[in-house]
């Protein structure tokens, strides 16, 4: 006989509105069209998406700030315990596969929301994941998923680089790895109500490579202090609830 999980819900006070206030006007496409549920339930971070290896050990700060953000909205909030969530996710995946449907995260998430409703009375389900994205470098700024940051560097970067006789490059162009928060919000019947993404932090930094000539050579190296700036995390989390994915990226 299959054991029926006893769902552990950690309560977190009250929520007034799940969607954060947006700079857009009421009814704008930048504002999440969410109901005002009596209870918001949050799934564990990266329940259906593998946490990128380069972010392991840094995700706790994102989780803490996410719960603070949701709790500050003044609605009833609860978190599904990780073991129960994993068991139900596996059951949802098995049933989706058995039905002959494509076994992909969005389909499993939808069925997970339906199965969860059989154990927990809730209004909406928030499924958050930390993902790695490619951010654009322009000059000394990095931009992606609704946020902008300074290019991280281990040592002060030169204002310009001589790449050939008489040719000087001012600023920098290219891409760099960054972390974002992806959120899917589903109703108890499995309907996807919101899908957003917001930039959290740049996870690489520019470093000088020692070489014999005077011309600097630069490389991208992993940052050891990424996801540590609380203000930046809060900005990115708010963006994920304010901006739909089509507004920030065509694919992810």
51 backbone dihedrals φ, ψ, rounded to 5°: -70, 125
pLDDT band at 77 (very low <50, low <70, confident <90, very high): confident
pTM > 0.75: yes
Please write the tens of the pLDDT for every residue from 95-142: 999 999 888 999 999 999 999 999 988 999 999 999 999 999 887 789
pLDDT digits (tens, 9 = 90+) for 54-65: 999 999 999 999
Helix (H) or strand (E) holding 248: helix 245-248
**Summary count for the chain: helices (H), strands (E):** 5, 12
d(CA 76, CA 242): 20
Q: Which two tokens stand for residue 158?
A: 């030169």
Q: How many CB atoms lie within 10 A of CB 47?
A: 19
Residue 30's pLDDT band (cuts 50, 70, 90): very low
Strand partners, 74: 16
């Amino acid at each position: 006989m299959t054991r029926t999980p006893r769902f552990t819900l950690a309560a977190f006070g009250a929520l007034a509105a799940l969607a954060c206030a947006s700079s857009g006007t009421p009814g704008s496409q930048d504002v999440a069209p969410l109901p005002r549920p009596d209870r918001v339930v949050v799934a564990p971070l990266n329940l259906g998406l593998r946490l990128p290896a380069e972010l392991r050990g840094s995700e706790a700060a994102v989780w803490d700030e996410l719960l603070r953000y949701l709790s500050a909205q003044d609605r009833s909030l609860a978190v599904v315990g990780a073991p129960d969530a994993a068991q139900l996710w596996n059951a949802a995946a098995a049933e989706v596969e058995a039905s002959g449907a494509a076994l992909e995260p969005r389909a499993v998430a939808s069925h997970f929301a339906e199965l969860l409703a059989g154990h927990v009375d809730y209004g909406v389900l928030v499924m958050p994941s930390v993902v790695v994205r490619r951010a654009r470098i322009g000059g000394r700024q990095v931009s992606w998923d609704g946020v902008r940051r300074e290019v991280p560097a281990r040592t002060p970067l030169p204002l310009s680089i001589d790449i050939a006789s008489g040719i000087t490059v001012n600023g920098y162009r290219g891409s760099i790895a960054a972390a974002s928060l992806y959120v899917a919000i589903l109703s108890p019947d499995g309907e996807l109500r919101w899908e957003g993404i917001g930039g959290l932090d740049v996870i690489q930094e520019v470093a000088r490579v020692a070489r014999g000539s005077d011309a600097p050579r630069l490389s991208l190296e992993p940052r050891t202090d990424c996801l540590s700036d609380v203000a930046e995390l809060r900005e990115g989390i708010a963006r994920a609830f304010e901006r739909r994915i089509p507004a920030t990226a065509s694919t992810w």
